[in-house]
Amino acid sequence: MLLAVAYSRAARRQLWNTCDAHPGCVVDRFGRAVLFRETEFSALQVLRLRARHGGHVAVKQTAPFNEFREVPERIRTAAEAYEGRASRSTPYRKFASGTEHPDPEGLRGVPL
């Protein structure tokens, strides 16, 4: 999918106009950011935005996230366990220490 983010008022207005004019190519709208279906037509629309607003429009190519494919099980388990913790104020590092859950420092910098 193509994620377009508008960083100026004019770019935002044109982004919204594009969405209103072509709802069929919009997957989701989040304020100043819009997720477009990955088609040549969507590419034409986001490139028009770029041609007019230059650096005020950022475009990223994104893919749906499947945690069961991309993420090791120990991290999924840790996330579930931490969100189910008894005390809301416990930070993750403290929650994980002395358990089988991964240490947050050990995860930083490790590519998925």
Give yes or no for residue 68 binding other proteins (CB under 8 A): yes
Listed in sequence order, the residues at least 6 apart from 67 whose beta carbon sits closer than 8 Å to its beta carbon are: 76
Question: The tokens of 16 are what?
Answer: 């919204």
Two structure tokens written together for 2:
């193509």
DSSP 8-state assignment for residue 103: P
Quick one: which segment of 17-25, 59-67, 90-98, 104-112 binds other proteins (CB under 8 A)? 59-67
Among 7, 21, 28, 85, binds other proteins (CB under 8 A): 28
Q: Which amino acid is at 43?
A: A
**Lookup: tokens for 80:** 């579930």
Nearest distance, CB of residue 92 and other proteins, angstroms: 21
Our finding on whether 66 is near other proteins (CB under 8 A) is yes
- Chain residues that interact with other proteins, rule: CB under 8 A: 28, 64, 66-69
